[in-house]
Amino acid sequence: MSPEIKAIVLLLHLIAMLFMAAPLYLLVVVNERARFTVPPGYNTDRYMENIIKNQPARCYAYLAVILVTGVLLVWSRGWVWASWALIAKLVVFTVLTTLLSYVHFTIQPQIEKTIGNLKPGQEVPANQRPGLVALRTRRKRLSATCLFFVLSGLIFGVTLSWSLAPWVTAVFIILAALFAWRAFRKPIPLGWF
């Protein structure tokens, strides 16, 4: 593979990883919704749920680009399957795809079943609110977990490309976990903080 083609493939790989920032922004949306003092209903929740329920299709497309470009990048290096960072990156990819599928095919349809028939101005019936909150909390937890895995995949990619020492990788993984936990717990009005 020529250096120019390799650079294009790497750029596509990195752009697809960048677009996988969806878990962070969905956590931002969910945390901002939690600041409202009104109960779940059409006016406050339909727009948010439309954004969230349509995101997995985009994520599957980004994951497909990451997989294809990742295979091309590994192939251009001579199939270095002995690298622990590459194996970790493949595990992260598999876990991300699995978690995304679980949210998309299991949790989201249950949420849609609860709020799907609401009309403008209508609230979720009081007896269905605890179930909705439980589903949204599980989805939020999984979104934070996905954010951690997206960051981890990026870190393993950097480790693979620049041969970082394992301790440096471990420090970055710990920082990624702390950031994902922080984004899960509270709104992040200043980005990192």
Tens digits of per-residue pLDDT, 36-87? 888 888 888 888 888 888 888 889 999 999 999 999 988 887 766 678 888 9
Work out the end-to-end distance of the chain between its first and last CA atoms, rounded to an integer number of angstroms: 41
Q: Return d(Cα 92, Cα 132) in angstroms, integer.
A: 29
Tens digits of per-residue pLDDT, 156-167? 989 988 888 999
Q: Return d(Cα 146, Cα 35) in angstroms, integer.
A: 23
Q: What integer pLDDT is reported at residue 179 of this predicted model?
A: 92
The burial of 92, by beta-carbon neighbours within 10 Å (0-12 exposed, 13-18 middle, 19 or more buried), is given as buried
> pLDDT confidence of 192, banded at 50, 70, 90?
low
Tens digits of per-residue pLDDT, 114-170? 998 888 989 999 999 999 999 999 999 999 999 999 999 999 989 988 888 999 999
Q: What integer pLDDT is reported at residue 40 of this predicted model?
A: 87
In this structure, of 50-59, 92-101, 106-115, 164-173, the range with the lowest mean pLDDT score is 50-59
Query: Strand, helix or coil at 2?
Result: coil
Q: What integer pLDDT is reported at residue 79 of this predicted model?
A: 65
Which positions ≥6 away from 95 have C-beta within 8 Å? Answer: 149
Q: What integer pLDDT is reported at residue 168 of this predicted model?
A: 95
Decide if 105 contacts 130 (C-beta within 8 A): no
pTM: 0.88
Tokens of 137: 């909390």
Residue 189 in this model has a pLDDT that exceeds 80: no
Residue 109 in this model has a pLDDT that exceeds 90: yes
More confident site: 106 or 24? 106
Q: What integer pLDDT is reported at residue 51 of this predicted model?
A: 86
Q: State the DSSP string of 52-88.
A: HHHHHHHHHHHHHHHHHHHHHHHHHHT--TT-HHHHH
Q: Return d(Cα 147, Cα 181) in angstroms, integer.
A: 9
Q: What integer pLDDT is reported at residue 95 of this predicted model?
A: 96
Residue 187 in this model has a pLDDT that exceeds 70: yes
